[in-house]
Amino acid sequence: MVASSVFAAGLVGALPASSGAAVRPITTPSVVPGSRYLALGDSITFGYRESTTVPAPNYSNASSFIGYPQLVGSALRLKVTNAACPGETSSSLINTSGPSNGCTNSPPPNTSLSYRSRFPLHVRYTGSQLAFAVKYLRGHRNVRLVSLLIGANDLLRCVSTTSDVCASAVEEQAVLSVVRSDIRAILSTIRRKAGYRGQLVILTQYSPDYTSAFLTNGVSALNSTVETAARPFRVLIANGYGQFYQGSLHSGANPCPAGLLTQLGKPGRCGVHPSYAGQSLLALSVERAIHH
């Protein structure tokens, strides 16, 4: 996800209630110091900050962006590979020519705009993020943790390319149908093609304002879609939504005054990406979900 005020149109979500037969998640082998951790996702995983944050971010230096994977790695002494790309959608994670929200291409009229062509990622690779994940997992058999946070930009792209900002149920369901199919393809590839049998975590998205019923309804649909699609692949669920909610209760369930979102210079004005404090809560949700 790349910063946008239209984030409120359905980007984030609550941890949905499970439905159907339970599939027991994989909890072994344990995540131990020295083991490898592969993080996949979009700008939240990357640690992206808006250009108007203070101090101004240095996009030419990827190491200056700290996402929750680095914090998990530091806490548990893991070797972290963060392959995330700002603006990645579930489709562009699979295929770089798929519709992206700024990672490999952008919505009209700036279709050729690409974060990857202008700025470095935490790790250098050609091809899709999923192709990199398969190669990495095949080449590093001591990976004990893989995490995935994706889907927000699918909705954001719909918001920016439809006349009604993706407000209709038909448009939303069309996006969620693509996300559902893509999640299945991503996790199937990780489990089967890459042969990864370790702990696999799906991180749920937070809300930028828990007092908004509109936000909650929209984002619940996204998280429910992702969790349902992921369930057959024996995943663990990291409740990023819940961690953010608990962390913002002292500020009226609003992550902005709680200091969990990027600050955009003027008091009370926030971006949509996690601040360092927000990233710390996402890291905590991952640490609580896994077995170590």
Are 261 and 278 spatial neighbours (Cβ–Cβ below 8 Å)? Answer: yes
> Residue 74: CB partners within 8 Å, gap ≥ 6?
none
CA 78 to CA 68: how far, in whole Å? 13
CA 282 to CA 151: how far, in whole Å? 16
pLDDT truncated to tens, each residue of the chain (292 aa)?
Answer: 553 333 333 333 334 444 445 689 999 999 999 999 999 999 999 999 999 998 899 999 999 999 999 999 999 999 999 999 999 999 999 999 999 999 999 999 888 899 999 999 999 999 999 999 999 999 999 999 999 999 989 988 998 999 998 888 999 999 999 999 999 999 999 999 999 999 999 999 888 888 887 777 778 889 999 999 999 999 999 999 889 989 999 999 999 999 999 999 777 899 999 999 999 999 999 999 999 9
> Residue 98: CB partners within 8 Å, gap ≥ 6?
89, 91, 92, 104
Are 243 and 249 spatial neighbours (Cβ–Cβ below 8 Å)? Answer: no
Closest CA to 84 of 58, 119, 46: 46
**Residue ranges of domains in the chain:** 5-289
Does the structural domain 5-289 have CATH classification 3.30.450.20?
A: no
